[in-house]
């Protein structure tokens, strides 16, 4: 059978699998078994998953874990995390416990403005365009009244529309730059519907609309999270020296992009895990965050640290456009449980929780890097994955875990120990 197929989307799920198995897996019954073993036994749940995307053939599971003992603004939280990387959840839980006895995390939402743009081309006189915009502005807002009605009742809607001249960057290019408040909704569909209505009202024979679309770059949808304590409360020994190393590690990430990328990736370990668990869009968050890290013309650390008058302070300011209603958040059973676990937070409260998760992850990484090194704890957590990959029995697994209690864990070392054990 040819690997080119027509009408694939019209095939049943079993027919799609049969085509896949025949063309890519040599009619392997094992491959079909693997695909089907991840189907949900409850038809209602499986049908729900099948409808999330197109051409579904199975489910791809991520571990769903929890990190308890977070104290944020004096309130206790157990944070849900969906992630495949070893040590992330353990590190978050460890840091949560550490700071719970030192005043906990403080967090605040600075602003919640989201952005959409109508991109258009205009070859005429700039002053005439400005006059036309000034005349049409009220009509542009009126064109969205039916769309914004319910959002306005909840305290959201369109905040402002401005005409921006971008001809210095691209000939004849202008945009309508529209700011929104979407309250507890992420608001993508709402924003895009508003923009399309505005574009239709604004376009004429001389104004050629290229596209109307929200922006995932939301530097004004900003949240801050921080922790602080006396320097002597940070470490058991050498607190002043180690605190200085911690601050220097952050400073290095601010001046060295190679380090900053890995530094920020660690922050996103915590953020993405909670974003995914709550059914939010981690790709949009990632794109926005990394653009924000480059806002000063060089890619830098998202977090900051200082020591002043004997007080250690560690904080992050980060843009997070999140929703707690609509989309996957309201559909996926585990996302709904995650929201319930968090106390059914508003979007603003969820911004604070997720910013704290990122800061906690960064604290754990920097504390390890500047003391014992990152590999000691990470490879201990990774040990079980290596053992599983070798197909070790439960008895062999127990032996290997005990064997590496006080030894350096590397893949080669584990394989060698396992082979010696089998001999």
Q: Is residue 155 helix, strand or coil? A: coil
Q: What pLDDT was estimated at residue 1? A: 44
How many domains, the chain? 4
Burial class (CB in 10 A: 0-12, 13-18, 19+), 246: buried
In sequence order, the β-bridge partners of residue 107 are 225
Expressed as residue numbers, the domain containing 304 is: 75-110+223-371
Residues 181, 184, 272, 281: which is the catalytic one? 281
Cα dihedral 362, 264, 107, 247 in deg (nearest 10): 60
pLDDT digits (tens, 9 = 90+) for 339-378: 999 999 999 999 999 999 999 999 999 999 999 765 555 5
Q: What pLDDT was estimated at residue 328? A: 85
Residue 265 known to be catalytic: yes
CB 133 within 8 A of CB 125: no
CA–CA dist 156, 198 (Å, integer): 17
Q: Are residues 204 and 289 in the same domain?
A: no
Q: Are residues 243 and 359 in the same domain?
A: yes
Full pLDDT tens readout for the chain, 423 residues: 457 889 999 999 999 999 999 999 988 899 999 999 999 999 999 999 999 999 999 999 999 999 999 999 999 999 999 999 989 999 999 999 999 999 999 999 999 999 999 999 999 999 999 999 999 999 999 999 999 999 999 999 999 999 999 999 999 999 999 999 999 998 999 999 999 999 999 999 999 999 999 999 999 999 999 999 999 999 989 999 999 999 999 999 999 999 999 999 999 999 999 999 999 999 999 999 999 999 999 999 999 999 999 999 999 999 999 999 988 888 899 999 999 999 999 999 999 999 999 999 999 999 999 997 655 555 556 677 788 788 888 888 888 888 887 777 777 888 888 888 887
Q: Are residues 411 and 365 in the same domain?
A: no
What phi, psi does 302 have (nearest 5°)?
-85, -15
Q: Are residues 253 and 276 in the same domain?
A: yes
Does residue 393 form part of some domain? yes
Does residue 67 form part of some domain? no
Q: Are residues 206 and 241 in the same domain?
A: no
Burial class (CB in 10 A: 0-12, 13-18, 19+), 397: middle
Q: Are residues 284 and 408 in the same domain?
A: no
Residue 378 known to be catalytic: yes
Q: DSSP of 239-303, one letter per residue? A: HHHHHHHHHHHHHHHHH-HHHHHHHHHHHHHHHHHHHHHTT--HHHHHHHHHHHTTTTSS---SE
Q: Which two tokens stand for residue 287?
A: 């794109």
Residue 281 known to be catalytic: yes
pTM of the model: 0.88
Q: Are residues 127 and 172 in the same domain?
A: yes
Q: What pLDDT was estimated at residue 376? A: 56
Residues 85, 128, 162, 165: which is the catalytic one? 85
Sheet hosting strand 173-181, strand order edge to edge: 157-165, 173-181, 114-121, 208-215
What phi, psi does 247 have (nearest 5°)?
-60, -40
For position 208, which CATH number holds?
3.30.70.420
Q: Is residue 38 helix, strand or coil? A: coil
What phi, psi does 260 have (nearest 5°)?
-60, -40
Does residue 323 form part of some domain? yes
Q: Cα angle at 315 between 309 and 318, to 5 degrees?
A: 155
Q: What pLDDT was estimated at residue 374? A: 56
Does residue 363 form part of some domain? yes
Residue 76 known to be catalytic: no
Residues 13, 97, 265, 290: which is the catalytic one? 265
Does residue 70 form part of some domain? no
Q: Are residues 328 and 211 in the same domain?
A: no
Nearest in space to 318 (alpha carbons), one of 354, 282, 283, 367: 354
Q: Are residues 301 and 246 in the same domain?
A: yes
56 CA to centre of own chain: 24
* 193 C-beta neighbours (distance < 10 Å), count: 17
Does residue 64 form part of some domain? no
Nearest in space to 287 (alpha carbons), one of 187, 335, 215, 359: 215
Q: What pLDDT was estimated at residue 393? A: 86
* 117 C-beta neighbours (distance < 10 Å), count: 19
The residue among 153, 185, 215 that closes a domain is 215
């Amino acid at each position: 059978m040819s690997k080119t197929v027509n009408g694939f989307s019209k095939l049943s799920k079993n027919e799609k699998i049969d085509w896949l198995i025949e063309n890519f897996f040599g009619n392997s019954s094992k491959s079909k078994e693997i695909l089907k073993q991840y189907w949900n036994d409850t038809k209602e749940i499986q049908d729900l998953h099948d409808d999330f995307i197109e051409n579904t053939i199975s489910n791809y599971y991520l571990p769903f874990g929890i990190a308890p003992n977070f104290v944020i603004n004096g309130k206790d939280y157990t944070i849900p995390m969906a992630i495949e990387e070893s040590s992330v959840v353990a590190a978050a839980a460890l840091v949560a416990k550490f700071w719970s006895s030192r005043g906990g995390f403080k967090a605040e939402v600075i602003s919640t403005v989201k952005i959409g743009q109508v991109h258009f081309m205009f070859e005429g006189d700039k002053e005439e365009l400005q006059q036309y915009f000034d005349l049409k502005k009220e009509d542009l807002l009126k064109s969205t009244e039916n769309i914004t009605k319910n959002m306005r009742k909840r305290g959201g809607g369109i905040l402002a529309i401005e005409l921006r001249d971008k001809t210095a960057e691209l000939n004849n290019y202008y945009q309508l730059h529209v700011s929104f408040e979407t309250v507890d909704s992420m608001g993508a569909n709402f924003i895009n519907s508003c923009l399309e209505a505005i574009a239709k009202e604004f376009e004429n024979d001389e104004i050629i609309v290229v596209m109307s679309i929200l922006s995932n770059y939301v530097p004004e949808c900003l949240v801050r999270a921080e922790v602080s304590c006396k320097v002597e409360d940070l470490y058991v020994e050498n607190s002043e020296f180690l605190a200085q190393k911690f601050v220097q590690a952050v400073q290095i990430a601010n001046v060295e992009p190679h380090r900053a990328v890995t530094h920020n990736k660690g922050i996103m370990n915590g953020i993405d895990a909670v974003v995914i668990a709550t059914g939010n869009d981690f790709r949009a968050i990632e794109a926005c965050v990394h653009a924000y890290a480059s806002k000063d013309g060089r890619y830098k650390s998202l977090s900051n640290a200082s020591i002043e008058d004997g007080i250690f302070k560690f904080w992050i300011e980060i843009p997070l456009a999140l929703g707690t209603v609509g989309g996957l958040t309201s559909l996926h059973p585990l996302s709904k449980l995650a929201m319930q676990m968090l106390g059914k937070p508003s979007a603003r409260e969820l911004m604070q929780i997720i910013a704290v998760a990122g800061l906690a992850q960064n604290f754990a990484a920097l504390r390890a890097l500047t003391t014992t090194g990152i590999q000691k704890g990470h490879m201990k957590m990774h040990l079980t994955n290596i053992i599983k990959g070798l197909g070790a029995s439960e008895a062999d697994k127990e032996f290997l875990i005990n064997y590496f209690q006080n030894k350096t864990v590397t893949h080669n070392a584990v394989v060698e120990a396992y082979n010696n054990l089998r001999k």
